[in-house]
Structure 1
Amino acid sequence: MIIRKILNPNTILAVDEDKKEYVFFGKGIGYSRKIGQAVDDEEINRVFIPVDNRQIQEYLRLFDSIPAVYFDITQQIIKKAEKLLNTKLNTSLFFTLSDHLNFSIERHKNGLNILNRVFWEIKNYYPIEFSVGEYALKLLKKELGQILPQEEAANVAFHIINAQTIASSTSKGLEYAKLVGGISDIVKYELKMDFDREDVHYQRFITHLKFFVERYYEGKMITENDSSLFEQIAQLYPKALTVAFNVKDYIEIINDNKVTKEEVAYLTVHINRLMSNKKLNNR
């Protein structure tokens, strides 16, 4: 391997005898080096193999526009994440997260902090990844003196989730989390109520939603031949039933599968319980 370009003190672009380009990471690997020198394998901590020439050019443009400190911070974040998750993350995370952190700091300096609509879901469904996000915020404060809102921890966690090698399970979990968040938003909007997300009753409701969403996506929804339960619940909790049907409509608009009448009934019960506890707490 021969050095083609020194990107920063810890990162170099190298080329093999077949002219295939690689990005190598290693502490101090680019320090006091010159183009044309050979790469020592013992100095390499991580290798990024570009999928195609277009991709490597896109990533190289990032290096030209992002201060080196962000790459150093990102390396520390990835190291922390891989240790806590006990897995290797997709190497492209080094580039995408560095770019994200740089952009986040620029936005923050300009007073632009974007709302993360699945903050609570990521925080509770992916606690390890979220803790890495919090670690990232501490690093940014320590290295750059910038204090970002806690929501940014969820944004970093999102990148960690996407970079995990077992992509199918993590992407599925994130899809579940988004649907739970969407249902929760509809319930709050329809009831004209604002819920404390740390409240035990709200968390119980979210737990029900998590199991419901799992059943929905896995095709294991509750079904019964007897409609008496649904009819009884419809008479007892008409307001909650209306909300439940709005949730049903929402789910079926964004997905192909139908929601069974029995699931609507159980959802109605949990919505009514949430309403009742909210009213009791407000007395």
Structure 2
Amino acid sequence: MEIKKIFNNNVALTEDPTQTEMVVMGKGLAFQKKVGDQIDADKIEKTFITPSESFADKLYELLDEIPYEIISLSKDITDMASNELDTTLNDSLYLALSDHIHFAVGRSKNGLPIKNALMWEVKKFYKAEYQVARKALDMIEHTTGVSLPEDEAASIALHLFNARQDSSGMEETMAMTAIVHDVTSIVKYHYGIDFDEGSMNYNRFITHLRYFAYRILRGELNDDGGNGELYEQVKMQYPEAYECSKKVQAYMEKRYQKQMTKDELTYFMIHIHRVSVREQAK
């Protein structure tokens, strides 16, 4: 394979005899090499085809900031996740994971862990991605010596979910957008409020709606009976949010012929209450 660009001593952009471009990784594989030279195949540890030149350029930018071991680790995690989830993951996951892991490890070393507000929802509704992410934490600890908190498993699980190539079709994306818009409108008019679209609570609410819409369209709503006790507690504590969530439930039944579970209704009430209280307080 001929070298087209050298990122650093360990990473290079190459082209094979069929003119297919790919990034190759390996300790010292580009050391004392120049563009046009051939790569020593014995030194190649990892390869992946680049979807675009812009992808290669973004990788180059990351390599200015992120150690090779993190880039290599992210490739291993992506390959593991693709195998475990039995799906093709978007190539952008390499970049997103490398960036995320690098900063997560750095924050942990400095005693600055970040809580993931969606952790319990991720554990409940994205069990497969979460279990894979737990394995990723073990891989991270093995490579870096840093044991990341459980919250990071939830963050990685969301990266995996977003990287599923089969979840971004235009028709499905439009349908998801319609659900998010309609449910947001129901909440808005129920409370008579306008949302601060830059607020953290609004963004959390929209994130939950997007994942909910995905599950609705894929028929993946969790139907394990739910936590009835928690449902009743939240219902009693947030009666206005309960009334609003019932309107959302009626909409889903009429438009999509889907029954929302108690778990879904519980999380809706919590998010609806949070976002509405913050908006009404302004």
Q: Give me the whole-angstrom Cα distance separating, in 2, the residues matched to 1:33 and 1:91.
A: 29
- Which deviates the most, 24-33 or 118-127? 24-33
Normalising by structure 2, report the TM-score: 0.57
1:160 is paired with a residue whose SS is: helix
Cα-to-partner distance string for 1:29-50 (whole Å, 9 max, x where unaligned):
8266722223578968543324
Match of 1:48 in 2: 49
Residue 57 (structure 1) shift: 2.5
Q: Give me the whole-angstrom Cα distance separating, in 2, the residues matched to 1:157 and 1:241.
A: 32
Q: Give me the whole-angstrom Cα distance separating, in 2, the residues matched to 1:51 and 1:101.
A: 23
Contact 1:48 1:92 in 2 (8 A): no
Residue 103 (structure 1) shift: 0.9
* Superposition pairs of residues 266-281 of structure 1, within 5 angstroms: none
1:166 is paired with a residue whose SS is: helix
1:25 aligns with 2:30: no
Contact 1:9 1:30 in 2 (8 A): yes
Normalising by structure 1, report the TM-score: 0.56
Q: Give aligned pairs, total.
A: 213
| Structure 1 stretches of at least 4 aligned residues deviating more than 6 Å after TM superposition | 237-240
Q: Give me the whole-angstrom Cα distance separating, in 2, the residues matched to 1:28 and 1:85.
A: 29
Contact 2:13 2:24 in 1 (8 A): no
Instruction: Classify 1:241/1:65 alpha carbon distance in 2 versus 1 (closer, same or farther; 3 Å).
Output: closer
Residue 163 (structure 1) shift: 1.5
Contact 1:129 1:161 in 2 (8 A): yes
Cα-to-partner distance string for 1:103-126 (whole Å, 9 max, x where unaligned):
111222233222212212222222
Q: Give me the whole-angstrom Cα distance separating, in 2, the residues matched to 1:101 and 1:239.
A: 38
Query: What is the letter of the counterpart of residue 48 of structure 1?
Result: I
1:67 aligns with 2:67: yes
Match of 2:33 in 1: 34
Q: RMSD of aligned C-alpha atoms?
A: 4.8
Residue 72 (structure 1) shift: 2.1
Percent sequence identity is: 28
Cα-to-partner distance string for 1:150-204 (whole Å, 9 max, x where unaligned):
01011111111111221238x98xx79xx9xxxxxx9xxxxxxxxxxxxxxxxxx
Query: What residue ranges of structure 1 are gaps of 5+ in the alignment?
Result: 180-185, 187-209, 221-236, 272-283
Query: What residue ranges of structure 2 are gaps of 5+ in the alignment?
Result: 181-186, 188-208, 220-234, 267-282
